[in-house]
């Protein structure tokens, strides 16, 4: 069994096509197909469902695919550790995150790349239900994720980085233009554009409002940026996690108002797989998560008071 055979298998899963996988691996399609067949012969089992084209993996193929990711992740970690030098680490770090919190990873990745200029970071936005699977299958190295989603014994987590709160983003000339706060019931009575029903925070919003929206929900989107754009059009308001607006501020033509009533209080942390030894880059990112006061740094960047309101306090 060769490392490159495992790499080809992972590429085949990623691209779902022998030709595209071969192109990504910079080899010919016959070479990739032959390598996969050789791996099957070595393991004594069929890994790929074959026909005129790629149809997926067999049960054994799924098992080998998961082990392949783990072995390749360990190989990368070994190389990273061997490359630790006084002048810093180099290598690639793969980070995934839930859409509402992912903008805040900027603080950690900026510090990491300043400390280790030869490091590259690949950041991927993922739905909540995909994020943990990707972490446990070694598709990513770390995840910005809700604490209560992380299974004990399978992952190592940082301290709580912040607690997610909801705000209302509304047009400056809309029905709430003269307000600094509004109740959940008042928000339900105005035209809204909201996150897709599959998202975690939409489920929380629905729980708070009992799923009743007298003002109507005409627009749903799985992109928070798309929701912001619809609010900028001047017709809709939206309810979103407050952390999303920290790096950008409120878009032109809109204002953010507080919500009176229950809050989700979702704790966000950084999670990594429970493996040993920990890859140097992953260890560095976790250390930064423990050292960094994310909310305070954002407030300083925006020129806000150093003593924030209780709803914006670090870890709250």
What residue ranges define each of the domains in the chain, with the CATH number in brackets? 3-70 (1.10.10.10), 88-162+266-312 (3.40.190.10), 166-260 (3.40.190.290)
Confidence of residue 130 (pLDDT cuts 50, 70, 90): confident
Q: What is the pLDDT of residue 307?
A: 44
Query: Who has greater pLDDT, 285 or 52?
Result: 285
- Is the pLDDT assigned to residue 125 strictly greater than 80? yes
Separation of alpha carbons 119 and 42, rounded Å: 36
Decide if pLDDT at 270 tops 70: yes
> DSSP string of 111-129?
HHHHH-TTEEEEEEE--HH
Whole-number percent of the chain with pLDDT over 90: 19
* Residue range 53-64: mean pLDDT, rounded: 86
Which of 295, 292, 243 lies closest to 112, judged by CA? 292
Range in 153-162, 221-230, 245-254 the model is least confident about:
245-254
List, in order, residues 6 or more apart from 232 with CB less than 8 Å away.
171, 251, 252, 253, 254
Q: In the prediction, which pLDDT does 86 show?
A: 55
- Compute the average pLDDT of residues 49-56: 78
Q: What is the overall mean pLDDT for the chain?
A: 83
With a CB cutoff of 8 Å and minimum separation 6, the contacts of 282 are 77, 93, 141, 142, 272
Q: pLDDT per residue over 89-111, tens digit each? A: 778 899 999 887 888 888 899 99
Q: Please report the pLDDT score of residue 232 as a whole number.
A: 92
pLDDT of residue 313: 37
């Amino acid at each position: 069994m060769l490392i490159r055979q495992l790499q080809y298998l992972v590429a085949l899963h990623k691209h779902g096509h022998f030709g595209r996988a071969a192109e990504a691996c910079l080899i010919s399609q016959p070479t990739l197909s032959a390598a996969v067949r050789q791996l099957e012969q070595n393991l004594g089992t069929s890994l790929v469902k074959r026909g005129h084209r790629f149809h997926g993996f067999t049960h054994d193929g799924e098992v080998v695919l998961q082990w392949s990711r783990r072995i390749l992740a360990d190989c990368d970690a070994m190389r990273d550790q061997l490359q630790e030098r006084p002048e810093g680490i180099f290598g690639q770090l793969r980070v995934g995150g839930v859409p509402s919190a992912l903008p805040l990873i900027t603080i950690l990745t900026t510090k990491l790349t300043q400390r280790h200029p030869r490091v590259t970071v690949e950041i991927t936005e993922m739905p909540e239900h995909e994020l943990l699977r990707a972490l446990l299958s070694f598709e990513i190295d770390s995840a910005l994720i809700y604490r209560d989603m992380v299974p004990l014994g399978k992952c190592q987590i940082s301290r709580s980085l912040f607690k997610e709160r909801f705000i209302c983003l509304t047009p400056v000339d809309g029905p709430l233009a003269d307000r600094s706060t509004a109740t959940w019931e008042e928000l339900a009575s105005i035209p809204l554009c909201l996150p897709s029903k599959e998202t975690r925070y939409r489920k929380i919003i629905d729980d708070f409002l009992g799923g009743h929206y007298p003002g109507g929900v005409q627009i749903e989107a799985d992109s928070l940026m798309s929701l912001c754009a619809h609010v900028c059009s001047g017709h809709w308001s939206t309810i979103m996690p407050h952390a999303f607006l920290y790096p950008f501020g409120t878009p032109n033509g809109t204002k953010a108002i507080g919500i009176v009533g229950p809050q989700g209080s979702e704790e966000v942390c950084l999670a990594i797989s429970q493996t040993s030894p920990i890859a140097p880059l992953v260890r560095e990112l976790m250390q930064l998560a423990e050292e960094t006061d994310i909310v305070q740094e954002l407030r300083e960047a925006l020129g806000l008071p150093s003593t924030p309101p209780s709803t914006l306090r670090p870890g709250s």
